[in-house]
Amino acid sequence: MAQPAPAAHPPSPTSHPLPARGRPRSERAHQAILQATQELLLESGYAGLRLEHVAARAGVGKATIYRRWSSREELVLELVSGIGAPRPTIDDLGDTRAALVRAVLDPIMTITTTPFGPTIRTLLSEIAGSGGPGERFRETVVAAHRAAIETIVARGVERGDLRPDVDAPMATEMLLGPVFYRLIVGGALDRDLAERVVHAYLAGAAVPQTDWF
Amino acid sequence: MAQPAPAAHPPSPTSHPLPARGRPRSERAHQAILQATQELLLESGYAGLRLEHVAARAGVGKATIYRRWSSREELVLELVSGIGAPRPTIDDLGDTRAALVRAVLDPIMTITTTPFGPTIRTLLSEIAGSGGPGERFRETVVAAHRAAIETIVARGVERGDLRPDVDAPMATEMLLGPVFYRLIVGGALDRDLAERVVHAYLAGAAVPQTDWF
DNA sequence: GGAAGTATACGGAACGGACCGTATCCATGA
DNA sequence: TCATGGATACGGTCCGTTCCGTATACTTCC
């Protein structure tokens, strides 16, 4: 992340000609707020997160938080988007199946091994909502995963591993859908899930010869 | 001191041997509360739902609400579970594909055509949480859909439409996962989605001959 | 059978507590 | 000089509880 860009209120993030009047903002306070938010999210979840606790643990005044983020929701979503997003991971292995497993496993690992997982569960409502903050999450985290999968599928078709008539836009839904399903409904999120999802996606459930016109 | 409530839930309407001392609870008030909750959920969403508004619209005191439900969350989840759940819909059509499309379409229709679609989105965090209320939702709504799908898959195998080695327990994840995915991430929830999901699930993405060992 | 008694629920109102987001204070430092 | 720092107080909102006087059932007793 490393967002030196001052948030919300000040003019443009990358606006240069600021004379920088007055005392400059403390980067230490900024990081301390994010760190405290992350810790408290893990301990209490989003619904239980109290900005006064964040301020206390960060050794900061509440006003300092509101100078940088306009609301509790803004703060938390920026944190989560930053954690869950990137993972370029588009190294092609020459093996379509292995690449797909990795693409499914990536969000699974993010969910199960980073603070992102326990946190995102408490943020699902905000993410699913049509509000601006959820929009940003979709644009960063989700778009990255969709792009990765569509790249793999396109290469798989070129390579002759996948059917030329495969419904490419549906690949993300078919492969990541089960992950979201278990995120909500419960169930193991592990490598076994990733492998079974990819296998089911590739092999299909119908008896081979009969059903395709 | 800490135990004022006799029971969070009233004696069930068909409860037998209670002597029923005192004034019985008003069924009219009960229904009015549920009705008002439903209306206000649609207008304001879960986060914006105010119990005092519910009470006012229902023509009821707040205490009357808390006599029946222990919290706002309890009230709303009971409402949502009740509506989203049943739909027996296990009429076998003799057509595995059509049955699967119907099984996928059922939750889609519930989401898009009943008041609870917009509401479920605002309740995702509570449902995903490990708390009791979410548990009840999973036991009712989700379990019903899983049972329906597993029945269809089993019959499909018997009938010879589906591969005998199909990963049956994964069928629900593969088929309903995309619905949950779009519920969170966005995207159309319609018949076209159901048909494409089922088609992808049946046909598989891999080139037919090669990949099955 | 009818009157009195008992137990609970009713609608209404107020309250305590928690929390968000804002405002104000003085000190700090580029 | 002046915006930021940490600290604290405040207004406002809303949950969940508690109390009030009233309403409605069953039970007891005449």
- Which nucleotide is closest to B69, CA to C1'? D16
What pLDDT, on the 0 to 100 scale, is given for residue A213? 45
The single-letter code of the amino acid at B144 is: A
Q: Is residue A12 part of a domain?
A: no
Q: Is residue B13 part of a domain?
A: no
The CATH number of whichever domain residue A36 belongs to comes to: 1.10.10.60
Instruction: Say whether the CB atom of B16 is under 7 angstroms from strand C.
Output: no
Q: Tell me the CA–C1' distance in angstroms for B121 and C29.
A: 48
Asked if B183 and B122 sit in the same domain, the reply is yes
Asked if A159 and A89 sit in the same domain, the reply is yes
Q: Tell me the CA–C1' distance in angstroms for A49 and C19.
A: 10
Q: Is residue A19 part of a domain?
A: no
pLDDT above 80: residue B211: no
Asked if A89 and A183 sit in the same domain, the reply is yes
Asked if B91 and B153 sit in the same domain, the reply is yes
Domain count within chain B:
2
Question: How far is A96 from chain B, CA to nearest CA, in Å?
Answer: 10
Which of B76, B125, B141 is the best substitution to test chain A (most A C-beta atoms within 10 A)? B125
Instruction: Say whether the CB atom of A19 is under 7 angstroms from strand C.
Output: no
Asked if B121 and B185 sit in the same domain, the reply is yes
Contact between chains at B202 and A201 (C-beta distance less than 8 A): no
Most confident by average pLDDT, A37-51, B138-152, B156-170: B156-170
CA torsion B66→B71→B74→B77, rounded to 10°?
110
What pLDDT, on the 0 to 100 scale, is given for residue B16? 44
pLDDT above 60: residue A10: no
Question: Which tokens hold the place of A146?
Answer: 């969709």
Instruction: Say whether the CB atom of A61 is under 7 angstroms from strand D.
Output: yes
Asked if A60 and A163 sit in the same domain, the reply is no
pLDDT above 80: residue A109: yes
Cβ pair B76, B37 in contact under 8 A: yes
- Measured between beta carbons, which residues in chain B are less than 8 angstroms from residue A201? 174, 200, 204-205
Q: State how far Cα B126 lies from the chain centre.
A: 13
Q: Which residue is nearest to nucleotide C5 (CA to C1')?
A: B22
Tell me the C-alpha distance between A21 and A27, whole Å. Answer: 16
Q: At what angle do helices A51-58 and A27-44 cross, to 10 degrees?
A: 130
Asked if B88 and B146 sit in the same domain, the reply is yes
Instruction: Say whether the CB atom of A63 is under 7 angstroms from strand C.
Output: yes
Closest alpha carbon within chain A to B97: A206
User: What does the DSSP 8-state code read for residue B10?
Assistant: P
Better-scored residue on pLDDT, B192 or A144: B192
Q: State how far Cα B153 lies from the chain centre.
A: 21
Asked if A147 and A57 sit in the same domain, the reply is no
Contact between chains at A203 and B200 (C-beta distance less than 8 A): no
Asked if B180 and B105 sit in the same domain, the reply is yes
The single-letter code of the amino acid at B90 is: I
How does residue B147 score in pLDDT terms, banded at 50, 70 and 90?
very high
Segment A122-126 shows an average pLDDT of 81
Lowest mean pLDDT of A162-166, B50-54, B72-76, name the range: B72-76
What pLDDT, on the 0 to 100 scale, is given for residue B19? 61
Tell me the C-alpha distance between B93 and B103, whole Å. Answer: 12
Most confident by average pLDDT, A86-90, B46-50, B187-191: B187-191
Tell me the C-alpha distance between A118 and A105, whole Å. Answer: 17
Cβ pair A140, B167 in contact under 8 A: no
Cβ pair A54, A65 in contact under 8 A: yes
Q: Is residue A36 part of a domain?
A: yes
Asked if B52 and B91 sit in the same domain, the reply is no
Question: CB-CB: which of B127, B193, B207 is closest to A161?
Answer: B207
Question: CB-CB: which of B123, B181, B201 is closest to A205?
Answer: B201
Pick the last residue of a domain from A68, A91, A126.
Answer: A68
Q: State how far Cα A17 lies from the chain centre.
A: 33
What pLDDT, on the 0 to 100 scale, is given for residue A11? 39
What pLDDT, on the 0 to 100 scale, is given for residue A44? 83
Question: How far is A41 from chain B, CA to nearest CA, in Å?
Answer: 14
Q: Is residue B9 part of a domain?
A: no
How does residue B50 score in pLDDT terms, banded at 50, 70 and 90?
very high
How does residue B131 score in pLDDT terms, banded at 50, 70 and 90?
low
Mean pLDDT (chain B, rounded): 84
Residues 6 or more apart whose Cβ sits within 8 Å of residue A47: A122, B125
Q: Is residue B198 part of a domain?
A: yes
User: What does the DSSP 8-state code read for residue B47?
Assistant: T
What pLDDT, on the 0 to 100 scale, is given for residue A84? 60
Asked if A112 and A171 sit in the same domain, the reply is yes
Instruction: Say whether the CB atom of A61 is under 7 angstroms from strand C.
Output: yes
Q: What is the extent of the structural domain holding A109?
A: 83-203
pLDDT above 60: residue B6: no
The CATH number of whichever domain residue A196 belongs to comes to: 1.10.357.10
How does residue B148 score in pLDDT terms, banded at 50, 70 and 90?
very high
pLDDT above 60: residue B57: yes
Q: Is residue A8 part of a domain?
A: no
Asked if B118 and B36 sit in the same domain, the reply is no
Q: Is residue A134 part of a domain?
A: yes
Instruction: Say whether the CB atom of B23 is under 7 angstroms from strand C.
Output: yes
Segment B163-172 shows an average pLDDT of 97
Contact between chains at A202 and B204 (C-beta distance less than 8 A): yes
The separation between the first and the last C-alpha atoms of chain B, rounded to the nearest angstrom, is 68
Which of A49, A184, A197 is the best substitution to test chain B (most B C-beta atoms within 10 A)? A184
Pick the last residue of a domain from B68, B97, B127.
Answer: B68
Q: Which residue is nearest to nucleotide C22 (CA to C1')?
A: A63
Question: How far is B114 from chain A, CA to nearest CA, in Å?
Answer: 17
Cα distances (Å, whole numbers) of residue B137 to A47, B38, B78, B178: 19, 17, 8, 19
- Summarize pLDDT for A139-169 with one digit per residue, the tens: 888 888 999 999 999 999 999 999 999 999 9
- Summarize pLDDT for A165-202 with one digit per residue, the tens: 999 999 999 999 999 999 999 999 999 999 999 999 99
pLDDT above 60: residue B15: no
Better-scored residue on pLDDT, A26 or A139: A26
Pick the last residue of a domain from B9, B41, B68.
Answer: B68
What pLDDT, on the 0 to 100 scale, is given for residue A88? 57
